Amino acid sequence: MHIKPPVDQHFGFFNNYVYMFKDIDLLTAFEQNWKELNDFVGGLTPEQLSFAYAPGKWTVKEVLQHLVDGERNFAYRIFRISRNDEAVLPPYSPDNFVAHSWAKHRSLANIMLELELLRRSNIATFAEMPEEVLDRSGMARDAVVTVRALGFALVGHTMHHLQILKEKYVPAMAG
C-alpha cells in the first residue's frame, strides 16, 4: 500500500533520502530502520557517545539528537501537507538546533525514548492514511514534495546518518 514514489518524480533536497530504498512498504521501512538504529546504539559505550571523528563534527550523541530533531521536523512537514496546508515550509538549521540541544547533558536512554516515541507516532500517522493523502503535495524547502515522499525521506534521513556513524565514526573509534 505505501510503496515509495515513482522514480520519475523529483523532490529536490529530499531526493537522496527518498530513493535510498528498493521497493518496500513505508511501514516496514520505518520498523526495519528503527531496529537497525536501536541495535547499533545499544552497543555504544559512554565514551563512544561523546566521540566526534574530526574537529568540528558532531559527537555520536549529537547525531542522535539530530535524528530526534529530524524526526520531529519531518513529522511537522508531513502533518502540515497531509492537512492540505498550502504554506511553504522552510528549511531548518541542523547545526543551530544541535548547538542549542543540550544533547551532551541528556542521557542516551532519554534521547532514544524521545526518538522512539516520535517514530511510533509517525508509524501511527501513516498506518491508516488514505492513498489520496499520501499523494497530497506541498512546498517544503526547495521542492514540491508528497506526504509519501516525506515519509520515505524521514527514514532515508535516519539511514543516511546511521551509515555515516558506521563508516566514519566506528572506524575512527577503533583507531
The stretches in the chain having pLDDT less than 50 are none
| Domains delineated in the chain | 58-174 (1.20.120.450)
Q: Determine the Cα angle at 73 with ends 71 and 95, to 5°.
A: 95
58-89 residue pLDDT tens: 999 999 999 999 999 999 999 999 999 989 88
Residue type at 88 in one-letter notation: V
Q: Report the candidate in 54, 67, 20, 47 with the shortest Cα–Cα distance to residue 161.
A: 67
Q: Report the pLDDT value the prediction gives residue 2, as an integer from 0 to 100.
A: 66
Rg value, the chain, Cα: 16
Q: pTM to 2 decimals?
A: 0.94
